[in-house]
A = this chain, B = another copy of it.
């Protein structure tokens, strides 16, 4: 089974947008026993026709992204119809869905949007729950030969749910009898990629019956194993021994999902008091549906006055020790705990940069505290000298991990 990915979009080649589709597809396809043998990006417009016809000669499955929108540079539908020598037909169901969506959003239905209702004859419509342009699936044809062709929207927030709901089931049918290999992902926090490789990865690679991969994000590493279920079951105890409590999930959930779920199970709540992370910790927690069961109060006390007026940090403490200091982190967490009535409160105070650092307190320095009802407050010092956004990501990840360890203790 030869799979190719064809991305269309001038913005990808001008460098305005980084193409994340190839990597994302690669991850989705692997568990099915499929690999991408080639990925191509072409600009919007005519170039897609040529690139598509080349894929036709080589591939069994072609995933095309982009060019399905309402504007004149979106010509994927027309190119495909031209290559197949078939007509585009307005689909009344698609039109109805677009009309409903447009009405819900309070937009005006515009003539141009009707282009999105055109479907190549014989194509199967893939619903788009997050946008107006539907995806399209044209099954393989023997003569003239064409591959299984999937036309998918460019924006990841539209493409990814559509792929999961409508494309994966078709692909599973197409490659039903490929050798069954499983993919397991061990999601790890608090250990670097090299440490994971050294402690367990190298040994696994030597076996020869496993494919071992790593994916690192700010303070998070995925150890990915591909093999038969038997092999994976056999090595699992070894992995658990090696990474211990650094492993937090094998289900692909992220750390905030883990924390919110666990808090809900325990009927407990957390509050946040953020300085350098500027609301990201609250944002991450509230990205989890149902977060309101466990999160009620967040304080973004960016200025010293706010730390004093909102969560009672004594201004004398900031004068003597500085706003970025362990006692201030402890006072922030304590104040947030008291004001919110929650069971836990996490606080962060640090220097995100690029400005504001000094020799004594450099950019990247951060104090993270966890106040606990009826127990002493924990506080640790860290250094994450990175760009501003990565700093915020790592710092909040570390704060969530501090709470995770507390929740593991019961």
Residues of A with Cβ closer than 8 Å to B? 10-20, 22-28, 30, 35-44, 47, 51, 69-73, 104-108, 110, 112-113, 129-130, 155, 157, 161, 183, 185, 192-195, 197-198, 201-202, 205, 211-217, 222, 224, 272, 274, 277-283, 285-287, 289-292, 295-303, 305-306, 309-310, 339-341, 352-356, 364, 383-390, 392
Q: Are B27 and A23 in contact (CB under 8 A)?
A: no
Q: Which residues does chain B contribute within 8 Å of A306, judged by CB atoms?
A: 296-297, 340
Q: Which residues does chain B contribute within 8 Å of A205, judged by CB atoms?
A: 72
Task: Report the minimum CB–CB distance from A287 to chain B (whole Å).
Answer: 6
Partner of A305, one of B36, B105, B296: B296
Nearest B residue to A340 via CB reads B306
Alpha-carbon separation in the docked complex, A28 to B213 (Å): 30
Q: Are A354 and B15 in contact (CB under 8 A)?
A: no
Return 20 A-B CB contacts under 8 Å, by A number.
A14-B213, A15-B23, A16-B185, A18-B23, A40-B41, A44-B213, A70-B194, A71-B197, A72-B202, A113-B194, A272-B300, A278-B298, A279-B282, A289-B354, A289-B355, A292-B356, A297-B303, A297-B306, A297-B310, A299-B310
Given A13-B22, A286-B300, A309-B339, 5 more contacts at CB 8 Å?
A: A11-B213, A15-B215, A40-B41, A278-B298, A295-B302
Most buried by B among A25, A214, A285, A309: A214
Nearest B residue to A10 via CB reads B213
Q: Which residues does chain B contribute within 8 Å of A290, judged by CB atoms?
A: 355
Q: Which residues does chain B contribute within 8 Å of A25, judged by CB atoms?
A: 15
Q: Are A300 and B287 in contact (CB under 8 A)?
A: no
Q: Is the interface of A mostly helix, strand, loop or mixed?
A: mixed
Nearest B residue to A112 via CB reads B194
Q: Are B287 and A283 in contact (CB under 8 A)?
A: no
* Contact A14 B30, CB 8 Å, known A298-B299, A306-B296: yes
Q: Are A297 and B287 in contact (CB under 8 A)?
A: no
* Contact A291 B302, CB 8 Å, known A16-B23, A37-B43: yes
Most buried by B among A17, A35, A341: A17
Q: Which residues does chain B contribute within 8 Å of A303, judged by CB atoms?
A: 292, 296-297
Nearest B residue to A281 via CB reads B279
Most buried by B among A15, A306, A355: A15
* Contact A24 B15, CB 8 Å, known A38-B47, A71-B197, A298-B300: yes
Q: Which residues does chain B contribute within 8 Å of A42, judged by CB atoms?
A: 37-38
Q: Which residues does chain B contribute within 8 Å of A107, judged by CB atoms?
A: 192, 195
Q: Are A299 and B299 in contact (CB under 8 A)?
A: yes
Task: Report the minimum CB–CB distance from A171 to chain B (whole Å).
Answer: 15
Task: Report the minimum CB–CB distance from A256 to chain B (whole Å).
Answer: 11
